Amino acid sequence: MWRLFQNLCILYCLYLNSCYADDSHGEKLSKPEFDLCVQECGSQYEECSKAIRGLWRNFQKNKKQIMKVMNSCCLRGQGDHSQPSTLSFATCVRDKCGAELWGCNIKKRHSGFLTEQEIEYIKQKESRQKKKTPQ
């Protein structure tokens, strides 16, 4: 049985003495508080990505749409400090957790056999690579 593609959000944070929550009150978070804050932002990211859950069944066909939504859920508004912390994972960890670096990683996870579509895609990809490689 296929497990649906799942996304993992991995935060790369530079957790230094300068890592403060919400600039308005300059309160430094302890490591456990920071970890909890990141988990809460991760839940927000997961909630945002639910909109495309059904598209993962045919990743190759829906790849562009999936990546567009996932990028938006992860990074939208990251450079604009006027954007609300509820906009994306990046704005959440930046504003609520005091993170200085962030990012998201999408990983394919499944169990069972490959579908016919995946087998065909792999064959086509290998064929294209062979044509590109000088012999």
Q: Where are the domains of the chain?
A: 6-132
Cβ-Cβ contacts under 8 Å for 79 (sequence gap 6 or more)? none
What pLDDT does residue 103 have? Answer: 81
Q: Token pair 């495309």 is at which residue? A: 52
pLDDT digit string (tens) for the chain, length 135 residues: 223 333 333 333 333 323 344 444 457 889 999 999 999 999 999 899 888 988 888 888 999 999 999 999 999 999 999 999 999 999 999 999 999 888 887 666 656 677 788 788 888 988 988 888 776
Query: 95 near 83, Cβ under 8 Å?
Result: no
Cβ-Cβ contacts under 8 Å for 30 (sequence gap 6 or more)? none
Report the predicted TM-score, pTM, of the whole model to 2 decimal places. Answer: 0.61
